Structure 1
Amino acid sequence: MAAPQARLSLLSTAVSRGGVAAAAWALLVAAAAVPLAVLGGWAPWPAAVVLVVAGVVAVVVSRWVPVVPVPRAAGLLLVLVAVGAGVWAGATHAEHVVLRRDAGTYALSGQHLATAHQVRVDVHAADIGGPALLSRPGVTVGSPGFYEQGRGADVHVVPQFLLATTVWLSVGWWLGGWTGLLLVPAVVLGAAVLAFAGLAVRVVGPWWAVPATATLAVAAPVLHAGRATYSEPLALLAGCAAGALLVAVCGSRGEPPRRLAVLAGALAGGVALVRVDALRESSLLLPTLALLAVAGGPAVRRVVGPVLLGLLGATVVAAASAGLTSRPYLASLAGSLVPLAAGAVVLALGSVSAVLLARRGVRLPHALRSRLPLLLSLAVVVAGLALATRPWWQTVRQSAADPGARVVAGLQLRQGLAVDGGRTYAEHSVQWVGWWVGVPALVLALAGAGYAAWRLGRAWRDGDPLPAWTPVAVVAVGSTLLTLYRPGITPDHPWADRRLVPVVLPAVVLLAVAAVAAATRLTRRRRPGPASRLVAAAGAVLVLAPTAWATAPVATQRTERGEVAAVQRACAAFGPADSAILLDSRAANEWTQVLRGVCSVPTVVVRATSATPADRATVLALAQAIARTGRRPVLVAAESPDAVRRVGAEPTHVVHLATIEDQRLLTRRPDGAAALGVDLWLAPAT
């Protein structure tokens, strides 16, 4: 019996602590990398020291986490699902390195950080015409995802996104070049699925955690995020690990370790190192902590302070990191970030006020308190139904002048829809979730959320200990409702569906499985025998089968294959003394950072559109200025050779790639791929 017991202990430890250790390691490395990357010191040897030290710390702190006993078969299935998710995402990984969407921005940012060892992207103004010409209207060194900053000789570029994901992509580059970099999200996804398994085990139990984890792992948006260089897998990892720790702290028998509470808060706040919008979940945790301080048991009340300490400390670190590395990005998000920050302040003040009033003996009126279970349950169900029925009574629009409106209008035209570029399609957000998990799972999730609200209200009313899952449920349900109300993303699919990955899909899946588990327990109490097993099996199938069916058409799809080789061909076409002048919009959008960062070719853009070609006089002035420095100006086009010919040069077709990309659908579930052509024409300026 000793060997099986050892295996049981090992599997239980892996499920309970593995995700926490991975999340702690990932966030510690990301935080430590910030000053090094700002100062130009994120090189392999300093990074190796950071990785080792952070790894040791992560292992040590993960040992604080109490282990949940998991049956051998359930533990083995959970670990296999996590490993399988990572392996499958890696086997079908994309090669999005010619920049079109956010994945390209992350990939190129990671490559730059790995090779330049700093956040700042130097553009070498003297090699592309000099500061005077760079200040001309229509001339820029920036591109989508890379902001032009500074003036004169100090002009440079700053990558768009927060640094955490970029840091880990740079590690992948050091380990294996493009292949290593592109496989990082798949590895992180495997760890994230394991972290979700650890959370599910604590919320619904080990056996119910198996269908929950399998459903999340096969969901197409989760697979899509793990195939390409996105931040969502890392956010999912940190968020699920934080949730598992919060449940462990609130469900601890006896006195919960305060250091574990600090760690739970730190992981919850640390998600903001990965994604700016994680401030939403951190804000929602504040009133939850206030509720625990007011209505929790004595032991739980004593750990509210440590959780808050960890949360605030990590949030400050994340804010400092964002300010140091992504200030232009934050400025571009001011329209949504300022209201989010204001909401956080309001929730903080309201939470403090509620705790102070409770300590002075102020209580809810008896009439309200006696109806808490019903009122909370009704509030959740009504909110869910309101979101689900929005297409019947609301059409959400943004300003038609927004750049995204032009993109939407173009997609509508190509898909035969009424052209109304201002539409965000946010009223269909619940439908987006239903595409991937099915209507039965949505119904079950709403029932599960209503039941959770009823149980929470009953415990609050009766003065009983609050359920251990209280903070996770409140934050997950609140964040899901807010995300579905305002997704805040260009609504083409499957690209937009990654917005569902960090919180919405885990919450929906876990709530749906919790509802099935509750129905099974109820059936077992009322009708012992095979009826409960039938309910359990049918419920698990209702959750898992529609998700697998929806994913099947895209399960083996690999997009952007051949782009790494295309970039290598492009780089080989340039000489060491060449400077690139980009002449059309596709070249400017897709190739600027590729040529500058990957090919080490000084690059400048002359703005152009399909209706307005690049100004010939400006192009010639740049070419002459570059030639005077002893370098060779090279004209670059990616839409067609016409942009080069307009300047009087005859181009050479150096890159021609026919590959595929994800579809860009507005009103139906994606079920395949779209053709994608990648071309590049070069010509020496004459």
Structure 2
Amino acid sequence: MSFTAATVPGQPAAPPSRRAPAVRRLLDAASADSARAGRLLLLLAVVPAVTVTAWLLVAVPLAATGHFRPGVVVPAAVVLAIPLVRCATRLPRRSGAGSFTAPWSAVVATSAIAVGFAGFAAVRSSQQAVLHRDAGTYAQVGLWLSDHPGLATPVPVDAFGAAAAQLTFAHPGFYVQDGMIVPQFMTGWPTMLAAAHWVAGWQGMFVLPALVGGAALLAVGGLAGRLFGARWAPVAALLLGSAWPMLRVSQTTYSEPLACLMLAAGLCLVAGAWKAGASARSAASRRDVGWSMALSGLLLSAGELVRLDMGVDFALMIPAIGWWWLRRRGGVWPFAGGAVIGGGLGFIDCRFVTWPYVLVNWSSVRLMIVVLVLSPVVTAALALFLRRRHRDVRTMRWWRWAPPVAAAGTLVLGLLLAARPLLYVDRSITAANTIEYVASHQEQFGLPVDGTRSYAEQTVSWVSWYTGWPVLVLAWIGAAGVVYAATRGRGWRFLPILLVYGGSGVASLLRPAITPDHPWADRRLVVEVLPAVALFATWTLAALTRSGETGRIRAAATGGWRAAGRLLAPTPTGALARLLVLLAIAAPALVVTARLGPNRTELGEPDAAAAVCRALRPTDSVVMMDTQWSPTIRNQCGLPVAALEDPTVERMQQVVAGIRAAGQVPVLMSSSTLTLLPYGLPLERIVYLDTHEDQHVLTWRPTGTDPRRLECWLVRP
């Protein structure tokens, strides 16, 4: 007779058999709870962007065709959002939910960072209601759409009669093309601002960027969780949210928070589909992967509806898709299908709605078109060549040198980018008005006067102002580590962020293509550069602990690296150490943001704009001596407005006579008394507002705000 350990004579056998199922039930419950937390983290990362994309797919065509009305666009967007959101939840809910787990602490921490960020940005938002740089343009286009079913409107020639030939109807933010007034910038973001105005007027427009910025932090955190492990999601969200340019664009009506959200969420969908696709066996799992890839293609290409140069980001994604096809994984054709839909709408918006804006930026657009054409052609040719030869480049003899050489090249590139101020001076500004603007500020600050300087060689310093050098160094080490892992074949899942964030980030640092006064220029860092810094720095911290997804990457380490790994190990002591290290490296960014973040600008402008409208009458035709108030009069007051360039007394008399002959009442208006005094008529002061605006500095980090005086003077001849 034989006995097992559970049936030894004289020993009770029941207790062990009762305890084992209880332990298993506890473990199963903990695993299910972690799976629910992981699923929630992923949904928080992608569902806001998918919902926004549904809105854009409906709103942009309706605005372009003159049918943008609440009763049409809102129901249609809701109907489209339901299936898109269901598609976004298929992969976490069915195929990959169990493979991605997260502690609830990571979900709570990431959400708290995003909510705190959005709440602070909303409370300290700016009030730019009068056109001033790009944020004011977006606000004015959104304001126009909130009261009109279409973007374009005929030039109001009849309101000025014979005087129309002497006037110009173009003004900041709006072009004249083929007898129509058309807006600047892509259409997607203004449609959302218009919807916010429907809900809560000006305040709704001012708060919307904060909400989108908070969602962007969730998307970047979710992407980091997918790639490095869930507990690193709050780290990436904190590093991005602590950079002041990210907060600044979320405090005013810029489009960058939305572009950042769509790019990060699209890459998060790709990361999830790639992970599930590598092990998908059943038909249902492959379908879920296909839907996720289709959505990612849609989000990444539909970014063109928000930001003109998002096509470059999409072009850099194509080689990663080619590599995925080369590995014979599913989802490539669904990705292409989604990309065709989003990219097709982006092309229509560029060619038929915002074409004058495209022409103004043709030098950059031409380069983007070249990249968009070459990327798929070269990728397809190379992938077909390797696939037909059944070759894997990693099996070639020379490839063993690729990982160390590529990683070393990444570090050298970082050093060269940082050293550019010692090597050359960038003089790439060619626009006459920008040259004059830069030269005036150089003279003001006692700098050598050279209006062609773009200061592009200093872009790495721009980033260091807001992230601190510790985070920037960690990010570049992380970029080299990701390159090493990807070229060795162990970090294939990092390929999309390496190509998109790394490639576009370097391109933005090399050629920011923006007027170089700060902080206005720093929004160029928001969409790709700052998320890249946050993600790659997070990779380095994760690699130090040798935990999570990054724990499989065994880099050659010195004794100091191993000691750091032991210190930051996943233990209670290590958790405290990780928190202290994170706060230490984020401290420079947090100090800058704490100093600049509470500043509010353009306060009082909504009331000033309302005062201008109250001073005018329905029969007025307004002639501006400058263009400061033209968008307000047209979009908010709803009155015909034009500008008289190089005014003289004789020309003014002719314009006034022409307006009266057309049956309208002539009104002269300006933001200064100087252009109205020569006519010898009594002036009426409508607005005299002292407020603040962002600084305009060239070679150092902003320290606060500048005073701004807003005036409006009226004459009734």
Same fold (TM over 0.5): yes
Could you tell me how far 1:528 is from its partner in structure 2? 7.4
2:302 maps to 270
Structure 1: where are the runs of 5+ without partners?
460-464, 609-613
Q: Does 1:213 align with 2:241?
A: no
Cα distance in structure 2, aligned partners of 1:264 and 1:553? 37
Which of 520, 524, 539 is 2:545 aligned to? 520
Task: Kindly state the Cα deviation for residue 249 of structure 1 after the two structures are TM-superposed.
Answer: 1.3
Picking from 625, 630, 641, the partner of 1:592 is 630
Residues 1:446 and 1:529: Cα distance change in structure 2 (over 3 Å): closer
In the other structure, the counterpart of 1:632 is 665
Q: Report the Cα distance in structure 1 between the residues aligned to 2:126 and 2:341, rounded to whole angstroms.
A: 36
Cα gap change, 1:623/1:8 in structure 2, threshold over 3 Å: closer, same or farther? farther
Q: 1:553 aligns with which of 583, 595, 598?
A: 595
| Residues 238-273 of structure 1 deviation map (CA, whole Å, 9 limit, x = unaligned) | 011011111111111522521111111111112111
- Separation of aligned partners in 1, 2:77 and 2:34: 30
RMSD across aligned positions (CA): 2.2
SS of aligned partner of 1:665: coil
Matches within 5 A, 1:166-315: 166-252=190-276, 254-255=279-280, 256=286, 257-294=289-326, 296=327, 298=328, 301-315=329-343
The whole-number CA distance in structure 2 between the counterparts of 1:402 and 1:287 is 38
**CA offset digits 1:102-137 (Å, max 9, x no partner):** 00000010010010121013442111x23x53333x
2: CA distance, partners of 1:83 / 1:471: 27
* Partner SS state of residue 78, structure 2: helix
**Corresponding residue SS for 2:676:** helix
C-alpha distance after superposition, 1:315-360 (max 9, x if no partner): 1221112223211111111111112211221222111110121023
Map 1:573-592 → 2, pairs under 5 A:
573-584=615-626, 588=627, 590-592=628-630
The match for 1:161 among 173, 180, 185 is 185
Deviation string 1:276-316 (CA, Å, 9 cap, x unpaired) is: 1111111111122222333x4x4xx3323332332233212
Q: What's the offset of the Cα at 1:81? A: 1.0
Tell me whether 69-78 or 615-624 shows the greater mean CA deviation. Answer: 615-624
Is the 2:213–2:261 contact (alpha carbons within 8 Å) kept by the matching residues of 1? yes
1:624-682 C-alpha deviation (Å, 9 max, x unpaired): 111122321111010x2121121232211110000000111111111210000000000
CA offset digits 1:532-571 (Å, max 9, x no partner):
4387345423432111112111121110000000001111
- Greater Cα shift, 84-93 or 118-127: 118-127
1:641 correspondence with 2:634:
no
Q: Is the 8 A contact 1:384 1:481 kept in 2?
A: no
Larger Rg: 2
User: d(CA) in 1 for partners of 2:446 and 2:324?
Assistant: 52
Whole-Å separation in 2 of the counterparts to 1:644 and 1:7 = 71
The answer on 1:354 being equivalent to 2:386 is no
Note closer, same or farther for the CA distance 1:530–1:335 as it changes in structure 2 (3 Å cut).
Answer: closer
How do 1:9-158 residues align onto structure 2 when only pairs under 5 Å count? 11-66=37-92, 67=97, 68-127=100-159, 129-130=160-161, 132-136=162-166, 139-150=167-178, 155-158=179-182
Q: Return the offset for 1:529.
A: 4.9
**Mapped contact 1:383–1:481 kept (Cα < 8 A):** no
Q: Distance in 1 between matches of 2:231 and 2:667?
A: 62
Corresponding position: 1:404 with 2:430: no
Residue 418 of structure 2 corresponds to which residue in structure 1? Answer: 388
Q: Which blocks of at least 5 consecutive residues in structure 2 are unaligned?
A: 1-25, 281-285, 547-556
Distance 1:363 1:14 in 2: 37
The answer for the alignment partner of 1:469 in structure 2 is 494
**1: CA distance, partners of 2:168 / 2:699:** 36
- For residues 408-436 of structure 1, give each alpha carbon's deviation from its aligned partner in whole angstroms, at most 9, with x where no partner exists: 11111111211110000000111111000
Distance in 2 of aligned mates of 1:207 and 1:466: 19
Deviation per residue, 1:584-641 (Å, 9 max, x gap): 3xxx1x2111111101121010124xxxxx2332222111111122321111010x21
Question: What one-letter code is carried by the residue in structure 1 that aligns with 2:496?
Answer: P
Partner Cα separation in structure 2 for residue 121 and residue 284 of structure 1: 37
Q: 1:34, 1:325 within 8 Å by CA — same for their partners in 2?
A: no
Evaluate the alpha carbon distance shift between residue 250 and residue 384 of structure 1 in structure 2; reply closer, same or farther with a 3 A threshold: same
Query: Counterpart of 2:642 in structure 1: which amino acid?
Result: V
Output the CA distance in 1 between the equivalents of 2:698 and 2:426: 14
Question: Aligned partners of 2:540, 2:566: CA distance in 1, in Å?
Answer: 20
Between the two proteins, the alignment pairs up a number of residues equal to 658
Query: Secondary structure of the equivalent of 1:335?
Result: helix
Q: Secondary structure at the match of 2:492?
A: coil
- Is the 2:216–2:261 Cα contact (8 Å) retained in structure 1? yes
Specify whether residues 7 and 163 from structure 1 end up closer, same or farther in structure 2 by C-alpha distance, changes over 3 A only.
farther
Query: Aligned partners of 1:557 and 1:636: how far apart in 2?
Result: 31
TM-fit CA distance, 1:525: 6.1
8 A Cα contact 2:139 2:193, kept in partner: yes
CA change 1:387–1:104 in 2 (3 A) is same
Aligned mate of 1:443, from 469, 473, 478: 473
Q: Out of 443, 451, 471, which is 1:413 matched to? A: 443
Give the match for residue 611 of structure 2.
Answer: 569
Q: Deviations over 1:374-414 (max 9, x none)?
A: 12212222222221111110111125553211111111111
The residue aligned with 2:16 is none
Answer whether contact 1:581 1:619 (CA < 8 A) is retained: no
Aligned in 2, Cα 1:12/1:576: closer, same or farther, shift over 3 Å? same
| Paired residue secondary structure (1:62) | helix
CA deviation digits over 1:223-249, x for unaligned, max 9?
111111111011011011011111111
SS of 2:513's equivalent? coil
Q: Point out the more displaced range, 216-225 or 524-533.
A: 524-533
Give 1:10 deviation, angstroms.
5.8
**Identity of counterpart residues, as a percentage?**
32
Counterpart selection for 2:400 from 370, 378, 383: 370
Distance of aligned partners of 1:55 and 1:6 in 2 relative to their CA distance in 1, 3 Å threshold: farther
**Contact kept? 2:58, 2:77, Cα under 8 Å:** no
- Quick check: 1:123–1:157 contact (8 Å CA) kept in 2? yes
Q: Secondary structure at 1:516's aligned position in 2?
A: helix
* Pair 363,517 (structure 1): closer, same or farther in 2 beyond 3 Å: closer
